[in-house]
Every structure is written in structure tokens, then in C-alpha cells.
Amino acid sequence: MLLGKKRRIGRKVDEISSGEKLKLTEKIEDKDLLLYLGLTNDANPLYVQHDYASRTSFERPIVPTIMLNGIITSAISKYLPGPGSHVIEQHLSYPKQVYHYETIEVLFAVIRVELEQNAVTLKVEAIDEAEDTVITGTVVVMPPKMEDNLTSHAMENF
């Protein structure tokens, strides 16, 4: 954390338009899987054991869906709407598994902007290297909204 440095805040709801898009590419690396497994203590053999996974219909270890959710929420926090945003609802499905070391392309599209509710609905779709859909759904996000009150200046460093 960098104390004393003011951080950039994402765009407010009135700065976002329906139809905006964001595309990003993510490669699933060992370090990402190990960090997830270490943080969650999730020892599902389907995620880590090649010998176990080879005896399933998946044939090799797959990426936990919650890690894929992390890619989505990270993109929302970084880019659309950006820092200070908060996911308040999500409806996602995973029609095809993602394997270790695969690269996925994630497309976000703003499909609804609700000024009064301070909410933005994003359509999310991800495809793998074979161009098969691996994630599809929607996420509702609350863009950053700073309350202007007497103590707001005391928090300028955050």
C-alpha cells in the first residue's frame, strides 16, 4: 500500500454508456492456481492431480470456476468501471471447462446503465483458444460513488 499517494478512482455511473466494451486476454499460469489453492485450502483433486483428473471425463486438471470469477471481478476493479467499484449481483454459467495453461479472451459489454440506482449491468462472455464459450452471463456493478461529507477530506490519502 502506498500511503501518501492519492489513488485513481474508476468512472462514475454518469460517465459510462450502454454499448461500451472491454476485451482482455488471460493466460492461466501455475502461480495463479497455486495462489488460489493456498488461499482457499481447496484440495479438490480435479484441480491439481493429473492422475485423478485423467480418470474423469475432463481427462486433465481444470481451473476452478471461482478463479474465473476472479478474472472477471479483477477486470471490473481495474478497468470497467474501475477502482472503487463493487459487484452486487452476478449470473454466470460455465458451459465448458478451462484447463491449466489455457488462454481465455473475456469480453465485457455495458448493456444497461441505471443512474438512479448507481448500477451498471455488464454482459460477460469468455472464449478459449478453440473459440468455444467457457463463461457467459451478466454482472451488475455499483460504480464508485464518493459521498461528500465533512470527513471526506480526512480520507484523501486513501
Q: DSSP per residue over 23-39, as a string?
A: EEEEE--HHHHHHHHHH
pLDDT at residue 14, as a whole number: 94
31's grid cell? 502461480
- Residue 20's H or E segment, with its range, is none
**Cα–Cα distance measured from residue 9 to residue 81, given in angstroms and rounded to the nearest whole number:** 9
Domain encompassing residue 23: 13-155
Q: Give a yes or no: residue 144 inside a domain.
A: yes
- Residue whose C-alpha cell reads 469480453 in the numeric block: 107
pLDDT at residue 36, as a whole number: 85
Q: Indicate the number of domains in the chain.
A: 1
6: Cα separation from own chain's centroid: 24
Does residue 145 have a pLDDT over 90? no
pLDDT at residue 154, as a whole number: 52
Q: Give a yes or no: residue 123 inside a domain.
A: yes
11's grid cell? 468512472
Residue range 62-69: mean pLDDT, rounded: 93
**Cα–Cα distance measured from residue 47 to residue 96, given in angstroms and rounded to the nearest whole number:** 15
pLDDT at residue 26, as a whole number: 95
Instruction: Give the rounded percent of residues in the chain with a pLDDT score beyond 70.
Output: 89
pLDDT at residue 32, as a whole number: 86
Q: Give a yes or no: residue 3 inside a domain.
A: no
**Torsion-angle region of 31 (φ positive above 0: left; ψ -120 to 50: alpha; else: beta):** alpha
Residue range 71-93: mean pLDDT, rounded: 96
Q: Which residue has the higher pLDDT, 32 or 121?
A: 121
- Tell me the CATH number at 134: 3.10.129.10
Residue range 48-63: mean pLDDT, rounded: 94
Q: Give a yes or no: residue 2 inside a domain.
A: no
Residue range 122-129: mean pLDDT, rounded: 98
Residue range 48-58: mean pLDDT, rounded: 94
Q: Give a yes or no: residue 6 inside a domain.
A: no
**Cα–Cα distance measured from residue 49 to residue 52, given in angstroms and rounded to the nearest whole number:** 5
Please report which confidence band the pLDDT of residue 6 belongs to, taking 50, 70 and 90 as the band edges: low
Q: Give a yes or no: residue 111 inside a domain.
A: yes
Q: Which residue has the higher pLDDT, 37 or 136?
A: 136
**Cα–Cα distance measured from residue 14 to residue 80, given in angstroms and rounded to the nearest whole number:** 13
Mean pLDDT of the chain: 90
Q: Give a yes or no: residue 4 inside a domain.
A: no
pLDDT at residue 48, as a whole number: 87
Q: Which residue has the higher pLDDT, 10 or 148?
A: 10
Q: Give a yes or no: residue 8 inside a domain.
A: no
| 135, 92 contact by CB (below 8 A) | yes
Residue 126 pairs in a beta bridge with 106, 135
